[in-house]
Amino acid sequence: MSYDYNTQRKRMALPEYGRNVQKMVDHIKTIEDRDERNRAARTIIAIMGNLNPHLRDVGDFKHKLWDHLALIADFELDIDSPYPVPEPSKFIEKPKQIPYGQGGIRFLHYGGIIELMINAASEMEDGEEKEYLTNLIVNQMKKSYITWNRGQVADEAIIADLKLLSKGRLKMTEGIRILEVRELLPQVNKKKPLSKPHGKQMNKPFKKNKSFGRH
């Protein structure tokens, strides 16, 4: 007895349409009459649309279906398509690699936004606004540190990093308070479990009070 496994069948270009659509497309490639081949192609397009209704929300829905038909047919289907047939090379070439750079971030756990804020605050004139922004930056640095490292950190270490990143242009002035860890991280409220009656009380049968007898 021979078995027909999917691994032994022809590879499908778009498996989401299923094996039957692939067979129909392979069949219409063998139809010699062009008019009949065009009618069969339009029928398959309607079936493909019903199988993937989510594509109806995509712009130019019909165009995408005809492109998928060409892809399933391995670009060997000679029909009068209402849209230009896509170039096979566009599906073969690999996408261009997007370069990802860390941008010279000194401390990854602080992130690049913190460094931009430090640079912006360093350019400000001395005053209450600069002190206020420095206070926000220091507390955000501590929050980022404990978020990524999940441990305690000395305030002196945060101040030293601030001095390093700002190249000595930002300083902790008197009155600036660094928040505690419990103030920076959200507190999880643990709900107390509901007390359950003991098993003996639950299973205890009801007994009639003897004092309520007949007169």
Q: What is the pTM of this model?
A: 0.43
Contact yes or no for 178/184 (Cβ under 8 A): no
pLDDT tens digits, 22-42: 999 999 999 999 999 999 999
134 and 121 Cβ atoms separated by less than 8 Å: yes
**What are the percentages of helix, strand and coil residues in the chain, rounded to 5?**
50, 0, 50
Is residue 5 scored above 60 in pLDDT?
no
| CA-to-CA separations, 73 to 10, 20, 23, 61, 102, in angstroms, rounded | 12, 13, 10, 19, 44
Q: Domain spans of the chain?
A: 8-92, 111-184
pLDDT given at position 58? 72
Q: What digits encode the pLDDT tens for the residues 134-186? A: 999 998 888 888 888 766 788 888 889 999 999 888 888 776 778 887 777 76
Q: Confidence class of residue 212 from pLDDT cuts 50, 70 and 90? A: very low
Q: Which of 57-66, 87-96, 120-129, 147-156 is predicted with the least confidence, judged by mean pLDDT?
A: 87-96
pLDDT band at 215 (very low <50, low <70, confident <90, very high): very low
